[in-house]
A = this chain, B = another copy of it.
Amino acid sequence: MILSKKAGESFTVMNELVLPNDTNTLNNLMGGRLLHWMDIAAAISAQKHSNHIVVTVSVDNVSFKQAVKLGDVITISAKVTRAFSTSMEVRLEVWAENIPSGVKAKSNEAYYTFVALDASGKVVKVPEVIPETEEEHHLFASALRRRQLRLILAGKMKPKDATELKALFSDDD
């Protein structure tokens, strides 16, 4: 197994066109469709990093702006931020571009977490992530805090043990 891979190697871009069946009766993109596309983009990214089939284990707080409309072009970019032995956190950015105005706005950001499976469906270790750019270093560091939040919310860690997170509540950043 490869022990570590650069964050940039998992970079994935996906473009989608908002079609009628993706929208509600006000012609707004439905959130569930976007969550589905984001999951596929994030899974492709995690597969590039791990060279294994992956399954989603958690989705972090995702917030939606209400501007995505029928006919807009969606651009989803995904990149693995950090690996924790068998799990990988993937960061997503979503942009929506209106044709013909050409206005392009960030629709949302999210973090999806995956584990990699071997052919028999068992969880396997994944390579470490090597951050290179300044942003990759920042995301690599903050991944620990987000992981503690996930563990608390899943009831697998006591809030008082979440050292990284407690700091967040004593001083602002």
Contact = CB atoms under 8 A, between A and B. Distances in A.
A110 to B, nearest CB: 8
A3 interface: no
Interface residues of A, number: 71
A86 B116 CA distance: 40
B20 A20 contact: yes
A55 interface: yes
Copies in the complex: 6
Nearest to A39: B32
Nearest to A65: B57
Contact of A31 (B23, B51, B55, B162): B55
A4 to B, nearest CB: 16
A17 B36 contact: no
Interface string A132-173: 000000000000000001100110001110100110111110
Interface string A50-78: 01110111111111101000110100000
B121 A28 contact: yes
A36 B32 contact: yes
B169 A162 contact: yes
A14 interface: yes
A64 B30 CA distance: 21
B58 A62 contact: yes
A15 B35 contact: no
Contact of A70 (B25, B30, B32, B47): B25
Contacts of A154: 61, 63
Contacts of A71: 24-25, 53
B99 A51 contact: yes
